[in-house]
Chain A
Amino acid sequence: MLQMRGITKRFPGVLASDNVNFDVRAGEVHTLLGENGAGKSTLMKILYGLYQQDEGEILLHGEPVRLNSPADAISHGVGMIHQHFMLVPTLTVAENVALGLQSGRAPFSDLKNVSKRITELSRSFGLHVFPDEYVWQLSVGERQRVEIIKALYRDASILILDEPTAVLTPSEVDDIFVIFKRLAADGRGLVFISHKLKEVLELSDRITVLRHGRVTGDTTPAQSDRHDLARLMVGREVKLAPDAHAVQPGEPLLVIENLFVDGDRGKHAVQGLSLEVRSGEILGIAGISGNGQRELAEAIAGLRPSQSGKITLAGHDTTRCKPRQIREKGLSYVPEERMKDGAVGEFDIKENIILLNHDKEPFCSKGFLQFGTIAEHSRKLVKAYAVKTPSIDTTTKNLSGGNIQKVIMARELSAGPKVLLASQPTRGVDIGAAEYIHERIARQREKGTASIVISEDLDEVMALSDRIAVMFDGRIMGIIPRKEATRESIGLLMTGEQQHGAKQRA
């Protein structure tokens, strides 16, 4: 029903899409797989009318079309479920669905009929969406289903799903996959965009892999496994999990006792949390974001005050210490938002490398920066951490996410931390760089570092951690040794189910 032939799109200096062929048949889920910058989004933006191709043609239902705007695309039956939902929280589901559509009874609204149709659609696909609920009352998973209803209401026969699982818990993912399969069975064509290999293999009928704007593979789940896909994405062999060097954990270097931390809005983002991380071990903290992980990390780093409780870092009480004092006690922190907290985008690489030590010997002497030493140190780290950059004088924000993260990792790990706190260390980072970062974190075990890895990516947590703690609603729901952990057991804890079955919140 959809054919994209020879699609080429150029941006100044970059070939974002190079003679790409892509098609979708009725009743199938066709996955577009690729790293950030591989050209998935460009291709889908062309299909959704946000960009126009320089060369190539698009055939919808057999006819060549020119899509100049999303409105064109929608009228041809193309629907897009954005990664970031396009909903108005203060309106009801029905109002959101009707938003931007010509009412059947113009100039008056026609919400009754809209509601009826929503209920029908919801029932036939098992979406459990109710037209009169306000969007702000809905969970993330429910909002996503509202987005799907929106597309269905507009008679979308081709649905573009832009990383739909990024915000969902494992059980929500299972539910939504059932819905996707129903939609396909109904004769619609689904384009699934993802970089989570497991999900891709589970859901897809066909898989197209993109790299550097080119198609590097056309395959099916039956013909390939995760390693094949990763190789097609990256262009070389990739280790998906770092080799485990089990180290006998030593003394506890980070001890948190009954910690309470306030969030930005409302009270207590962290509520009575206790945990302990030992030298040479990696504790993974899993959980849907927004359950207090950010506040916990900021409290450990001294960037957010703790209301009560105690944080002991390498034997020192650092609960009330300033960020600088905590770092001097041996904390290294890779923050969640690398461009907001982790690096000064306008600074060049060497300036970001000395961000923490710019006023210490040997980088600074009597108040003056020592450029020779700084350059030497920077060159060494850039090389040691395989940062891809033209030079150490390159403005940091011009690097790719993965390379910026490597710069931050280089800076943090070269400090020789006793405790390493890494928040979402590979979010938005390409597989190659992620592999490298994982290996670096894993290697800290041998150096006796106590590491905490906070991540929404369950695969990441399971691949790296010795023990996995699951956070929900500001508390640790349970801590499971990696050998005993399964996706199901962690997924259950992520939704707030207690470890031993005691139901805490529906």
Chain B
Amino acid sequence: MKSLFGLLIPLCAVLLALVMGAVMLFTLGADPLSGYATMFGAAFGSIEGFSETAVKSIPLLLVGVGICIAFRANVINIGGEGQMVMGALLATTVALLFPGVPSLVLIPMVLLAGAVGGAFWGAIAGALKAWFNVSEILSTIMLNIVAVQFMNFLLRGILIDPAEVARGTGIPQTMRLSPNADLPILIEGMRMHLGVVIALLVAVGAYMLLWRTSMGFRLRAVGYNPDAARYAGISVPKNVTAALAFSGAMAGIAGAILVFGSESHRMVTDGGSTGFTGSAGFNGIVVALLAGLHPIWSIPSALLFGGMLVGANALQRVAQVPSALIIALNGLIVVFVVSSEYFKKRYMESGRVDVESDAEETEEVKNG
């Protein structure tokens, strides 16, 4: 009953957002029903479409899972963007330094490098919060900017493809990275690659971490009640830092997969702040919120948002509406998901009274 209700609320939020989106489609002169049919048809209607959706969902899922961990420890990580960038940069550097290492070793190496880069970037904000009481919301956002500028500096500088310099075009991108680091394609002729499997494994791993290990126990204890955690001898600063490091590690892996699973097999940006990440570092937050901060539920949640990204292009082609509508739709889902927290809480409250009557107590325990 309870879990069913827990599922119902985010579904309602998505449906309401889609209804609002339908109104917007209608005012733009498109038929909402056929518009949505086009959109979801493109994303989930065929193997090819689903393959695209899956690839788009990878960074969303990984960042989302990281967000689940951070938020569970009551740390607000808005730094997914920067952590992705730093992870990708370190992974790219490793691939450039060791191009000759065989795939079986190089792929784990670059993924690990991605995790380390992201974790390092997250841990900076974590340590600042833990020991100097710096708001992690501000520090993670600002570290995003630092990371992006650092990336621009490197991709235009020492990491730039020598061919770009020779041609004088100067696109900020690396050379074609070692093929040994390419993530293998899963289905011939499609883009779905090993990254999908890795992301799923990470999601399951994060679930295990949070609920099956003593580390996760500490993270959740610190998140729910830092006073009680401290009382129990659990170090709050260490765990706050760890939460951001884990969160950053997952975003870093997402960054690495973005590089080695890309069709160009390069790290490339357009100079804009979300040029490399495609805003996955922010959208992952939405994924996690819709999933109720649960790593496993983040999987369908990421697929939904990944599918909307894929579908947006089709929608633009067929219904002649700007694909920015999808951004608005994303925003609407966030609004509805966040406001649905209210109903969830109310439901929990009524659940509380049930239990208490079992324990022969009334709600007066709190009041009198």
Contacts and interface: CB of A to CB of B under 8 A. Distances in A.
B359 A303 contact: no
Given A11-B363, A368-B212, A345 B217 contact: no
B365 A344 contact: no
B230 A369 contact: no
B135 interface: no
Nearest to A324: B233
Interface in B200-226: 212-215, 217-218, 220-221, 224-225
A42 interface: yes
B359 A16 contact: no
A143 interface: no
B352 interface: yes
Q: Which of A12, A327, A364 has its CB near the most chain B CB atoms (within 10 A)?
A: A12
Q: Which of A39, A322, A369, A401 has its CB near the most chain B CB atoms (within 10 A)?
A: A369
Given A364-B214, A390-B358, A16 B363 contact: yes
Contacts of B359: 388-390, 398-400, 403
Contacts of B225: 340, 343-346
B227 A12 contact: no
A355 B214 CA distance: 10
A335 B362 contact: no
A317 B101 CA distance: 55
Nearest to A402: B361
B361 A37 contact: yes
A36 B364 CA distance: 7
Contacts of B358: 390
Interface in B215-271: 215, 217-218, 220-221, 224-225, 227-233
B224 A344 contact: yes
Contact of B368 (A13, A40, A344, A345): A40
Nearest to A428: B365
Contacts of A327: 233
A383 to B, nearest CB: 16
B188 interface: no
Interface of B: 212-215, 217-218, 220-221, 224-225, 227-233, 350-365, 367-368
B364 A12 contact: no
B362 A39 contact: yes
Given A11-B363, A212-B360, A390-B355, A369 B217 contact: yes
B353 A41 contact: no
B361 A323 contact: no
Contacts of A37: 361-362, 364-365, 368
Contacts of B354: 13
A344 B364 contact: no
Given A303-B230, A369-B212, A355 B221 contact: yes
A322 B362 contact: no
Contact of A14 (B214, B228, B232, B353): B353
A367 B213 contact: yes
Nearest to B209: A367
Interface residues of A, number: 53
Contacts of A403: 359
Contacts of B361: 36-37, 400
What are the 7 closest A-B residue pairs judged by CB atoms, nearest first? A41-B368, A324-B233, A359-B214, A398-B355, A400-B361, A13-B353, A346-B224
B231 A303 contact: yes
Interface in A249-301: 301
Nearest to A390: B358
A351 B223 CA distance: 14
A48 interface: no
Nearest to A430: B361
A340 B227 contact: yes
Contact of B363 (A14, A322, A368, A394): A14
B140 to A, nearest CB: 24
B228 A213 contact: no
27 contacts: A11-B353, A11-B363, A14-B362, A16-B363, A36-B368, A37-B362, A41-B364, A42-B362, A323-B232, A341-B230, A342-B228, A351-B217, A354-B217, A355-B221, A358-B214, A358-B217, A358-B218, A359-B217, A367-B214, A367-B215, A368-B214, A369-B212, A394-B355, A398-B351, A398-B356, A400-B356, A400-B360
Contacts of A401: 365
Contacts of A347: 220-221, 224
Contacts of B218: 358-359
A180 interface: no
B228 A355 contact: yes
A316 to B, nearest CB: 16
Interface string A363-398: 010011100000000000000000011100011011
A479 B37 CA distance: 82
A335 B361 CA distance: 23
A333 interface: yes
B243 to A, nearest CB: 16
Nearest to A50: B367
Nearest to B367: A41
B217 A16 contact: no
A160 B356 CA distance: 27
A71 interface: no
Nearest to A298: B231
A36 B359 CA distance: 13
B362 A12 contact: no
Contacts of B228: 340-344, 355
B18 to A, nearest CB: 32
A39 B364 CA distance: 7
B151 to A, nearest CB: 34
A369 B221 CA distance: 14
A333 B352 CA distance: 28
A356 interface: yes
B207 to A, nearest CB: 13
A346 B365 CA distance: 17
Contacts of B232: 323, 355-356
Contacts of B360: 212, 388, 400
A344 B224 CA distance: 7
Contacts of B364: 16, 36-42
Contacts of A13: 350, 353-354, 356-357
A40 B362 CA distance: 11
Given A162-B368, A356-B232, 8 more contacts: A13-B356, A14-B353, A36-B361, A340-B227, A346-B225, A367-B215, A368-B213, A399-B355
Contacts of A45: 367
A389 B368 CA distance: 21
Contacts of B356: 13-14, 398-400
A143 B362 CA distance: 31
A344 B362 contact: no
Nearest to B222: A344
B353 A12 contact: yes
Q: Which of B213, B218, B356, B365 has its CB near the most chain A CB atoms (within 10 A)?
A: B365
B205 to A, nearest CB: 13
A15 to B, nearest CB: 8
A75 B218 CA distance: 54
Interface in A23-55: 36-42, 45
Nearest to B215: A367
A14 B224 CA distance: 28
A316 B308 CA distance: 63
Nearest to B363: A11
Q: Which of B212, B231, B358, B367 has its CB near the most chain A CB atoms (within 10 A)?
A: B231
Interface in A316-342: 322-324, 327, 333, 335, 340-342
Nearest to A326: B233
Given A369-B212, A388-B359, A356 B365 contact: no
A321 B234 CA distance: 14
A91 B155 CA distance: 64
B188 to A, nearest CB: 39
